[in-house]
A = this chain, B = another copy of it.
Amino acid sequence: MDTEKSFKAQLKELRTGILEMQDYLKNERISTLIIVTGFDGAGKGHIIHKFNEWLDPRTVSTTAFWHQSEEERERPYFWKFWNYLPSKGRTALFFGSWYADLIAQKLCDGLPAETLENRIEKIRFFERMLAADGVLILKFWLHLSREEQLSKRSELEKNPQFHWKMQSVDWSQEGHYDRFWETSKLVIEKTDQACSRWIQVPAFDPDQRDFLVAKAFVHNVQHFNTELNKLRKSPAPSLPMIQVNSGAVSANPIPIPTPSLTELSPLAMDKMEYKTLLPDLQDQLFELAWKFFEQKRSVFLIFEGWDAAGKGGCIRRVVESIDARLFDVIPISAPSKQELSHHYLWRFWKSIPRAGRMAIYDRSWYGRVLVERVEGFASAHEWQRAYNEIIDFENQLIRPGHLVLKFWLEISPETQLKRFEKRQVIPFKRFKLGPEDWRNRSKWSTYQVAASEMIEKTHTHLCPWHVVQADNKRATRIEVLKTIVQSMSQAASHGKVDSSGRSA
């Protein structure tokens, strides 16, 4: 009884410290992600309540990941989590999360060891990526021994609320505790990284548990601050905490011949040929788009290339072939203030359409390693780790039967100049040309280096680059449409896809 009082008293003394830490996080614009998981009966929901009581609620959000919705099932697995990630200065409490899902699936469906390893690797990569972006990740495991869980159980059974808690859990099953803990222990061990440590809390005594969680929160924020200060003072920032290990997600580009930007021969096509080929390709695309919709297969078309390379013209030829209900065109320009307060991939995660649609990007996440690199909007550390982050992102877009097609439209500086001059003359094209276009043009060779490196580093088996010599508009459009139609036909011939199938 003495200890009990003492934990409560100690916790009370911590309350001001908790708020000071939250203030610090807010003022430094640090995003904080708090994951609460552990044994059934250990009081996970209770700890969520406690955090809401301790913290100033104005910068906190709580999300319970639970029954997956149809919208969530039709998108890559991590989509639902991206939707609730905290922006800079805010704190997100996750009840459930990727850990609860993984452990439950392993126990119920008996994931093969290989898949489990793979899922763990994805989690590791995801958390490292967030940490590298400056997110403070605190993962709480609320622990009970077998005897403690048994005793919690008989305690709960006396409670009239018990039958609700039982809905999804069957603790009474023979050997449940051991199987649950065996899997959980493995997952905890393998996902305990310098940038996202597990905090294991003995949870049998509620007052002790609450106090330990609160103390760990204060302690970890202080530690984070110390590390951050070291990092800032260090002349060459190289804190292991925020590194992304490139080997992790087999994220390395595969050794297939990389398309070169310099050895392209210009294409040619007369008007007659164009007028014959175009409608036929568009008819095929129309049919394929419907087929993909029916089979719930998504297509992601990414258009990158020089200013005035003809991205807009290609996109128009694509979309005018497709039923307007089946696609989204997503034009990418400078990020908004809200977008800047998240990881740079956040806005692209938000743009992912439901399964069966075509998403057409007029510029894309590759801006990170092109304009943001060249113009210095991203630091060298940031754009260098972006190659692997992008490969990982694209791999998540690809479920069985889905497609990611990336086009780089390559033109010569002479062609660009001609087109710029033409734009100045045609009144309704003038809006397409701004001073920054002329500025970018003056940095041609710097952009060229960035583009070549981008293609080399992100040309993968699953999501290869299609480099198109685009000096001739007609030939370019036909080439692009042909590539799309061929890729989709090929994929379509592989038969129907399980719409619930995940690539994870």
Q: List residues of A whose CB falls within 8 A of some B CB.
A: 15-16, 18-19, 23, 44-45, 48-49, 52-54, 56-58, 62, 64, 66, 69-71, 95-96, 160-161, 164, 283, 286-287, 290, 312, 316, 319-320, 323-326, 328-329, 331, 333, 336-338, 354, 362, 427-428, 431-432
Query: In the complex the two chains form, is A66's CB within 8 Å of B316's CB?
Result: no
Query: In the complex the two chains form, is B57's CB within 8 Å of A329's CB?
Result: yes
List the 10 shortest-distance A-B pairs measured between CB atoms, nearest first.
Answer: A15-B428, A70-B70, A64-B325, A45-B324, A16-B427, A48-B324, A71-B71, A57-B331, A164-B290, A16-B428
Residue in B95, B316, B320 whose CB lies within 8 Å of A325: B95
Across-interface contacts of A331 in B (CB, < 8 A) = 57-58
A-B residue pairs in contact (CB < 8 Å), sample of 21:
A15-B427, A16-B427, A19-B427, A19-B431, A48-B324, A49-B316, A52-B319, A52-B329, A54-B428, A56-B431, A57-B329, A57-B362, A58-B331, A62-B328, A64-B326, A95-B324, A96-B325, A161-B286, A164-B286, A164-B290, A337-B337
Work out how many copies of this chain go into the complex: 2
Across-interface contacts of A329 in B (CB, < 8 A) = 52, 57, 62
Across-interface contacts of A53 in B (CB, < 8 A) = 316
A325 and B94 CA atoms in complex are apart in Å by 11
Across-interface contacts of A57 in B (CB, < 8 A) = 312, 329, 331, 362
Residue of B nearest to A53 (CB): B316
| Given contacts A70-B70, A338-B336, A164 and B287 within 8 Å (CB-CB) | yes
Query: In the complex the two chains form, is B58's CB within 8 Å of A333's CB?
Result: yes
Query: In the complex the two chains form, is B49's CB within 8 Å of A319's CB?
Result: yes
Across-interface contacts of A58 in B (CB, < 8 A) = 331, 333
Residue in B18, B49, B62, B64 whose CB lies within 8 Å of A428: B18
Residue of B nearest to A354 (CB): B69
A287 and B52 CA atoms in complex are apart in Å by 22
Query: In the complex the two chains form, is A323's CB within 8 Å of B287's CB?
Result: no
Across-interface contacts of A52 in B (CB, < 8 A) = 316, 319, 329
A202 and B181 CA atoms in complex are apart in Å by 70
A95 and B325 CA atoms in complex are apart in Å by 8
Q: How far is the CB of A23 from chain B (nearest CB, A)?
A: 8
Across-interface contacts of A431 in B (CB, < 8 A) = 19, 23, 56
Residue in B70, B160, B320, B427 whose CB lies within 8 Å of A71: B70
Residue of B nearest to A22 (CB): B431
Across-interface contacts of A326 in B (CB, < 8 A) = 64
Residue of B nearest to A71 (CB): B71
A12 and B165 CA atoms in complex are apart in Å by 67
A96 and B312 CA atoms in complex are apart in Å by 25
Residue in B19, B160, B324 whose CB lies within 8 Å of A64: B324
Query: In the complex the two chains form, is B320's CB within 8 Å of A49's CB?
Result: yes
| Given contacts A19-B428, A19-B431, A56-B431, A164 and B336 within 8 Å (CB-CB) | no
Residue in B161, B164, B325, B362 whose CB lies within 8 Å of A66: B325
A312 and B15 CA atoms in complex are apart in Å by 16
Query: In the complex the two chains form, is A283's CB within 8 Å of B160's CB?
Result: yes
Residue of B nearest to A57 (CB): B331
A432 and B69 CA atoms in complex are apart in Å by 36
Across-interface contacts of A19 in B (CB, < 8 A) = 427-428, 431
Point out which of A49, A96, A326, A428 has the most chain B C-beta atoms below 10 A from its C-beta: A428
Across-interface contacts of A319 in B (CB, < 8 A) = 49, 52
Q: How far is the CB of A329 from chain B (nearest CB, A)?
A: 7
Q: How far is the CB of A394 from chain B (nearest CB, A)?
A: 23
A49 and B44 CA atoms in complex are apart in Å by 51
Across-interface contacts of A428 in B (CB, < 8 A) = 15-16, 18-19, 54
Point out which of A58, A96, A312, A336 has the most chain B C-beta atoms below 10 A from its C-beta: A58
Q: How far is the CB of A232 from chain B (nearest CB, A)?
A: 27
Across-interface contacts of A323 in B (CB, < 8 A) = 45, 164
Q: How far is the CB of A260 from chain B (nearest CB, A)?
A: 31
Q: How far is the CB of A146 from chain B (nearest CB, A)?
A: 25
| Given contacts A324-B49, A338-B336, A283 and B161 within 8 Å (CB-CB) | yes
Q: How far is the CB of A217 from chain B (nearest CB, A)?
A: 14
